[in-house]
Structure 1
Amino acid sequence: METSKLRILILFIAGSFSLINCQNKKMEQKYSWLGTVSAPQEYPMEVYKGAIIADDFTYGFDAIWGTQNTGWGNEGGTMSVETQQMDIPTTLEFTWYSLVEKTFYTGKWNLDHEKIKELFEKGFIDQDNGKKATYTNFIVGLAPKGRVVLWINGPGNQKEVGVFQAHDTIITQEKAYENAKYMLKEGFADRMVKDPSYETFKPEIRAKIEKEGYPAPDIYDVYRERYNWKPSVILPEGSEWIDFGLTSYNGEQENLFGETLTADTYKKRAVPKFCGFYWRDQNKNRYAVWVDSFDEKEIFDLFQKLGKEKNIAFTIKVNADNTGAALSLKSEKEELPITKAKIRLSRKIE
């Protein structure tokens, strides 16, 4: 008799825990998100199939996405869905064809649920309206040698949330599903990569490849290396620094303004690829400065020379009428000029 009561009690307790867990899961905030694909401009990838999977929703990819090479970390297109609010995704799976390598890659990975949840919950302040916003897109980055990076994206903000390794696989004409059989046609990859009439590459990218060859496949790991740095803008006396937006080589983006700008301090960040900001002079005239690009070898050499242990101020010194700016990396004891960056400066903005 006592044994039966004990068994009933254990079942009751176990059932209670299951109910609590179920309720907690139901109570977890849902978010509105979509997915897209990114690949380097020099390494076009052909989507075969894939999915970003949540408990209540699957965002799928297949051959209709076609060739992707918008640039590392850059968004491609998105497909609209009827679902408005989804659970936080738990799984990523993807299969694709690397045209340059003539290799299929595939893999399935668990996502860091807590990291993604924290980013969704924290969100960011939208500079345009001053209201809290959050992320709306996942970007699946496909790099050579089966490297996969997953970013989460919102206006002006992009964070890396996962890095994975796929393995090569063999898909034959007989095995491929109907809409993907074109990838297996003889000569398909060569035509896409070598024939200019297919416009797989922008003319300047094709010219760069012909001159320098393809980037080393491990460069996409180098891009992820972080240094302890912050932006530092030096303006004419009486001026006000308004904001600072940056995109890094690793695909991440930040938008600093207001408290996030004034409170910003040294932080582990990847090497900047693009940045820009607005400022006002003492007469409240507004100006803009954009560093459209760096010389990749120079900027990486300079960061590597100062190293990952030092605090580095990425310094932009602007002259009085916004007609020139000097760039440098500055540690406590050393200042290294950046001489090959392409800089644009605005006239007075009305």
Structure 2
Amino acid sequence: MKWKRPLAWIAGAAVAAGIGGFVFAAAGFAPIAASSGHWAVTDWFLHFAMRRAVKTQSLGVAIPPDVSLDDRALVLRGAGHYESGCAPCHGTPTTQPSVVVRQMTPKPPHLPPHIPSWEPEHLFWIVKHGVKFTAMPAWPALHREDEVWAMVAFLRRLPDLSEAEYRALAAGDAGSGNRLRSHDDPIGAVVAESCARCHGAEGLGRGAGAFPKLAGQTEPYLLASLRAYAAGERHSGFMEPVAAMLDDAALQRLAAYYAAMPAGAAEATAAGDRALGERIATRGIPERGVPACVQCHGPKEAPRAAVYPSLAGQYADYITVQLDAFANGTRGGTPFAHIMRSIAERLEPAERGAVAAYYSALAP
């Protein structure tokens, strides 16, 4: 047949091209140097393929019904991480990526002008999964989609921010780090550079629920939590990278630093059925195997184990997020986390919110 000869030529050419490509690579001639950059056509094709892949593979992504990307607390959570984890490569509203980053191939884009070309679902997919053959990593805790949506919430705000607005969101009261840096103990610099941006120099958190209050928690609990983050046993794309960079001595000093801070005031404005929350906290739900929360988390007259956190006066939004993460199995934690996991999954969402509202209104 006439078509067989052309087909044989095509097959032969394909085999020859494959062999030629292998010989080219085996001989070490492939242009892998980052300094050589990409040809314009190569750069176009790679970006075209990436954009098409993101738009296709994000088709199943939907903004959860309980997530508002305009929620200031969600924006704050994303802002704190962007400053330390993203800005060095992607810049800020008025600063470009670092000179080292600009020598990469491909070069990470200066993000503010590019964000409007992506839908929230696209941004979610990129932040969660990363992009192969670039410096863009996947999210360190893939199952913590609540954190990924926080990043999306902030990224949507990024293009419209002035530098002052950006600093207010991303740094908060971390400027008090000048005072901390003057301390003889070098842990003050760690607090100033990494911790105060989200938790505040005084450990009271920022944004009324964006971040937890650390002040007044026991040193054993804080240290156990930091160690769990550092070991990858408590899952958070925000906290794991920070804790993993510190040695155990630094973790101990951090725990002692925040444990020594005075606890803040109660939050009496959280939505939720506080009466229901009080019943669950003080009596539990025996028919469902839910014990009373006060046995481990207080308040009660008898002493309680120092490895459990105090919940009185903690932000309701933070408690709710943690209970939800326990319930869906995405949180992890200290060696005692399995206890909370079995309890949280037996509570309805409204009940978890009620417990959070009750505890947030209690004086620490």
TM-score by length of 2: 0.26
Answer 1 or 2: which has greater strand percent.
1
The normalised TM-score by structure 1 is 0.27
More helix, by proportion: 2
Q: Which structure carries more relative contact order (alpha carbon 8 Å, separation 6+)?
A: 2
